[in-house]
Amino acid sequence: MSEEAPLSPINEWMERLRSVLPDYRGYTDHASRREQDALYRQYLSEQLGEVLEPLEQLISERTRAGQFIEVLPLERVREKVRALLHDLGAPDYGTTAFFTERPVNEALLDLLYQYEVVLQEQVRAVQAQLEGLRTEPPEDFLSAAERLEATVLALEAELKGRCEMIRHWV
């Protein structure tokens, strides 16, 4: 019986990312960093974009029912999601050292992969929380909508952290 060697932290993050994005190869090869970055952002954008239609429907339903207080956090979520989709489509880190031929700093690379795993997990959480809102009892709906908003704000903070890290890559 052979024992498998434990994966290094970077390999663990990569395996988790490849489980949801099979074409993802990571950033060790400088020649494909832009392509891999674009692939990851496109994947994340597609996943996050899937929440807009159900979110719009829920906002419409609650508005028609006269539940305006409950609509407020949903409208904030919608605006944040739209802003996040824009940021994913046009990141503000431009041409940085990350995209040059510099050697890869393993610790920074590990942190970048962690960001990417956390981001995709947070997008899944947003999807699940939005789906769960449909079955929330009326007395719990507002607090559930506010939890969804908090999750989207956490997603925004993680994305900003990822962008900052790439922007200041050394």
Helix or strand holding residue 155 (H, E): helix 138-167
96 pLDDT above the threshold of 60: yes
Q: Running DSSP on this structure, what letter comes out for residue 99?
A: G
Distance CA 47, CA 97 (A): 28
- Which residue, among 93, 115, 102, has the nearest Cα to 28 in the 3D structure? 102
Give me the residue label for tokens 């990417």: 116
Q: Assess contact for 101 and 169: CB atoms under 8 A.
A: no
Q: What is the pLDDT, as a whole number, of residue 7?
A: 54
Distance CA 85, CA 123 (A): 12
Q: What is the pLDDT, as a whole number, of residue 30?
A: 81
Structure confidence by residue, pLDDT tens digits, 127-141: 999 999 999 999 999
pLDDT band at 2 (very low <50, low <70, confident <90, very high): very low
